Structure 1
Amino acid sequence: MSEPTEISSYEQECQRAELLGLQPPDKADFERKRQARLEHEMAEQEAAEAVLLEQQDESLGNVGGKLGELNSILSSTQQKLNRFKQTACGSLTNIFARASSGSVDLTGAAGGPGPAPPDQPPPPVREQPAAKPPPTAAEVAAAKAAKAKRMDSQLDKLDTLINQADNAQIAMSEQTQQMRRLAK
């Protein structure tokens, strides 16, 4: 907060006490309470962000599993298409003539089909009881570093999911083209 707001807030509290016929608050005591209130609000905000990060981790895992399942289905479909081409085409010359339409490799940069490998389990969310002293600067720095690490991990997971989605899109397109060629 800026300096004028702090003073006006203290002055407002003094005016309130005067109107109610109470003793005006001690400035040092007022500042301690205000600081404690701000630290409590920051702790609540950090806890809310930690819960949000956990929810995002869970949803990323769900998406990763579904994309892995899709890539697995596409891989199975590609194997069936290849078997159908071998039995339907018959001779080796036909197979070699159609080699340009080959199969799609789903084991590219995304690490193959299947869900993304699980990272470390997320750290448990700590709730601060009212009587607990405010966190030290080292604890705050450690919490911020942990949050940054989790966010980096989520970005890595998003990159993996994007690669899996790209592989699935390419595989579906190739398989659609192969089926159209076979149907002609």
Structure 2
Amino acid sequence: MSEQPEISHTYETECQRAELLGLQPPDRADFERKRQARLEHELAEQEAAEAVLLEQQDETLGGVGGKLGELNSILSSTQQKLNRFKQTACGSLTNIFSRASSGSVDLTAGGTAAGPTQEERPPVLAAKPPPTAAEVSAAKAAKQKRMDSQLDKLDSLINQADNAQIAMSEQTQQMRRLAK
């Protein structure tokens, strides 16, 4: 399907077209009604496409949140094993040299995993009768709410990623110290 730039369809151009083709000029009220219906239909299609895109983004964010949650779980488990190892193998050396350990990293500060949540779905606009102004404003409000929710999820994912990076760095330093 090739996309061509849409030519501005004004009443005057339709009259000129009809004159060139030897047809009766269109009724102005009928032309405006059809033009408005076409614009509403295009807007409805655009809103439906945006709703599908938001749904896909929600699924992607849920997947990323689950993977970051899994990574943080693995890092927490690794930190527990490092702490146990330090207590058993290095405990006596630590007491001898009075060396302070760096402690563990708190992975719970980042909040919960951003999994898929049950939210209101924006109404899907079909090619049926044009939506009322109230329906359009409700759809816009639902879309804005969903976008805000996605921004909150992104913030949570960024926090989880930061916590994972800090935990990995800390654990790497601890392992290097233990290996010396």
TM range (shorter): 0.7 to 0.9
| Sequence identity (%) | 84
Residue of structure 2 equivalent to 1:175: 171
Which whole-Å CA distance do the structure 1 matches of 2:167 and 2:97 have between them? 21
Which whole-Å CA distance do the structure 2 matches of 1:33 and 1:53 have between them? 30
Which whole-Å CA distance do the structure 2 matches of 1:90 and 1:78 have between them? 16
Q: Does 89-98 or 61-70 show the bigger shift? A: 89-98
What's the TM-score, normalizing by structure 2?
A: 0.88
Runs of 4+ in 1 over 3 A off after TM superposition: 95-100
**What is the root-mean-square deviation in Å for CA atoms of aligned residues?**
2.2
Render the CA deviation track for 1:29-60: whole Å, top value 9, x for unaligned. 00000000000010011011111111111111
5 Å matches for 1:1-184? 9-91=10-92, 94=95, 97-108=98-109, 110-111=110-111, 115-121=113-119, 123=121, 126-129=124-127, 132-184=128-180
TM-superposed deviation, 1:127: 4.7
Which whole-Å CA distance do the structure 1 matches of 2:99 and 2:71 have between them? 26
Which whole-Å CA distance do the structure 2 matches of 1:136 and 1:76 have between them? 55
Gaps of 5+ in 1: none
Gaps of 5+ in 2: 1-6
Aligned length: 174
Contact kept, 8 Å, 2:75 with 2:167, in 1: the verdict is yes
Which whole-Å CA distance do the structure 1 matches of 2:13 and 2:96 have between them? 87
- Distance change (3 Å), C-alpha of 1:18 and 1:91: same
Which whole-Å CA distance do the structure 2 matches of 1:95 and 1:46 have between them? 69
Render the CA deviation track for 1:132-152: whole Å, top value 9, x for unaligned. 211111001100110110011
- Distance change (3 Å), C-alpha of 1:122 and 1:61: farther
TM-superposed deviation, 1:27: 0.4
- What one-letter code is carried by the residue in structure 2 that aligns with 1:136? T
Contact kept, 8 Å, 2:59 with 2:116, in 1: the verdict is no
Q: Does 51-60 or 85-94 show the bigger shift? A: 85-94
Residue of structure 1 equivalent to 2:3: none
Contact kept, 8 Å, 2:114 with 2:153, in 1: the verdict is yes
What's the TM-score, normalizing by structure 1?
A: 0.86
